[in-house]
Amino acid sequence: MTRPASLKAAIYEQIARIGQATASPSRLELLDLLSQGARTVEALAHQTGQSVATTSHHLQVLRRARLVEGQKAGLYVTYRLADPHVGDFFLSLRSLAESRLAEVQQVTRQYLEQRGALEAVGSDELVRRVRAGEVTLIDVRPREEYGAAHIPGAISVPLAELSTRAGELPRRRDIVAYCRGPYCVMALDAVDLLRRKGFRAHRLEHGVPEWRAQGWRVETGAGRHAGGRP
């Protein structure tokens, strides 16, 4: 018969596998990216600035802990979160760090102060203004992330296209840009660009995972594009 102490030790050992797998900034970044949607190893390597071999190694660690799943199609392997609970876990871990580690807030505030971007539109206010037709909400992430999931009412204008397509946006409404969440700089870059072009632009801190975590609906598919593009 298994002794209670042995049982607890065995269970804690298994739980510790999650902690060991996520005890790496690089692997946390991969979980954050995969929260936006499935990606190939090559795409993840490009977005994190790591080699394909290093990225693959980190993904294997996460896979052994049952946090991600991979599917091979031809020469490429596409990874995704193994379960929605993994995304919830990442957000909870980040929230815990934000509440217990003052350094997180200090680093964030210092960076945003340097960018002159401390203000952000609150999610509740955004919902009210979008439903009232008072703002134009743009998703500046890559198009495939928008297709995987986006905030209802958002228009897809990837950051790489924003400079040439800004003329498609209405000038009489405030523009609210969002990307991958509070630590993603794409929305900051979008706001800077739009303000230089004379738009009233603001940043939404929430991304799709944060939006979904509030219990709010998200949409999938190609959706809307600026200028009426399909």
The pLDDT assigned to 129 comes to: 82
Q: Is residue 205 part of a domain?
A: yes
Over the chain (230 residues), the average pLDDT of each successive run of 10 is 77 95 98 97 97 98 98 94 96 95 87 66 72 89 95 95 95 93 92 95 91 90 58
Number of structural domains in the chain: 2
Range of the domain at 212: 117-228
pLDDT (0 to 100) of residue 225: 60
Task: Output the pLDDT for position 105.
Answer: 84
Task: State the pLDDT at residue 120.
Answer: 56
Confidence at residue 223, expressed as pLDDT on a 0 to 100 scale: 65
Q: In terms of domains, do 131 and 44 share one?
A: no
Which residues are marked as active site?
179
| Residue 174 maps to a domain | yes
Same domain, 214 and 156: yes
On whether residue 105 sits in a domain, the answer given is: no
Amino acid (one-letter) located at 121: V
Helices 186-196 and 102-115: angle between axes, nearest 10 degrees: 20
75 within a domain of the structure (yes/no): yes
177 belongs to a structural domain: yes
pTM of the predicted model, to two decimals? 0.86
pLDDT at 190: 96
Where residue 12 sits, what CATH number does that domain have? Answer: 1.10.10.10
